[in-house]
Amino acid sequence: MNKGFLPINKPKDWTSFDVVNKVKHILHDNKVGHLGTLDPMATGVLVLTIGKATKLFDLMQVKKKTYIAKFKFGLETDTLDITGNVINRCERTPNLDKIKSILPKFIGEIEQIPPKFSAKSINGKRAYNLARENVDFELKPSIVNIERINVISYLDSELKLEITCGSGTYIRALGRDIAYMLNNYATMTELVRTNVGNLKLSDCFNIDELNSENISSKIIKIRDILGFKVLNLEKEISDKLINGQVVSLNMPNGDYLLNGNVDTIAIVKIRDFKAKMSIFLGI
């Protein structure tokens, strides 16, 4: 049975769920998920989880992500990207020096109000559905972490940035907030996710090159992605861990891989020299 990660270069105008459903159809397996939604207009690294690797969502969500984004100053849309309806305009254009001077204010842990056209849940309903129905609602700010922002270019009032950030960051909202600090408006015109953890765009497969004959060979093993240290244990001790027992191991605190003949069979957590299986991934 397949398990692992499948990095896809998501095509423009596909939803993340379109990609998931396509891979489910190719694999004839419903156990396919993804790590971090990309908007339909965005392209780039979309990491799919296959089989028991879907259990690793929380572990993989801590991985940093890198984006290249373009923002057009002078207008704001209701979706905060170029697919939306214009709701604000401004004739001024900020100069590059001023832009560079305020970017450090967005580095580190910051508060960010998600876009109203987002998948955030409001009383059990998706925010984007409420927004489409013109329902008036407010979204609470979230704490997000932005590691770095580099200016790539600035031409004809369009700013191109490279952004490395933690999960939960809305790049559209970052563009909005940068513009607001400049007493301006901005909307995102292009977004490419270039990295998720150590998976790069060059590691990704195009969805149209996958088929039932080759897809299994494209799936990356769990042990090749997580980067945890491997426990080399006698079978008797491994069996105890797999059966849910706590065993004593003279090793530092942390998460470890328990590997089988083919791939990782469990994640083991060690605390105060006591080891216990935290996630079973199948033999």
Q: Which residues are catalytic?
A: 39
Specify whether the CB–CB gap between 59 and 31 falls below 8 A.
Answer: no
Eight-class DSSP state of 278: E
**Cα–Cα distance, 223 to 229 (Å, whole number):** 9
Assess contact for 207 and 18: CB atoms under 8 A.
Answer: no
Please choose, from the candidates 52, 64, 113, 80, the residue with its C-alpha nearest in 3D space to the C-alpha of residue 264.
Answer: 52
Burial of 253 (0-12, 13-18, 19+ CB in 10 A): exposed
Which helix (H) or strand (E) segment holds residue 226: the answer is: none
Are 51 and 3 within 8 A, CB to CB?
A: yes
Strands 229-231 and 254-259: parallel
Give the rounded distance of the alpha carbon of 172 from its chain centre.
14
Instruction: Please give the Cα distance from 32 to 24 (Å, whole number).
Output: 6
Per-residue tokens: 130: 């409420």
Mark 107-120 as b/e (b = at least 16 C-beta within 10 Å): eeebebebbbbbeb
As a whole number of angstroms, the longest Cα–Cα distance in the chain is: 72
Q: Supply the DSSP symbol for 181.
A: H
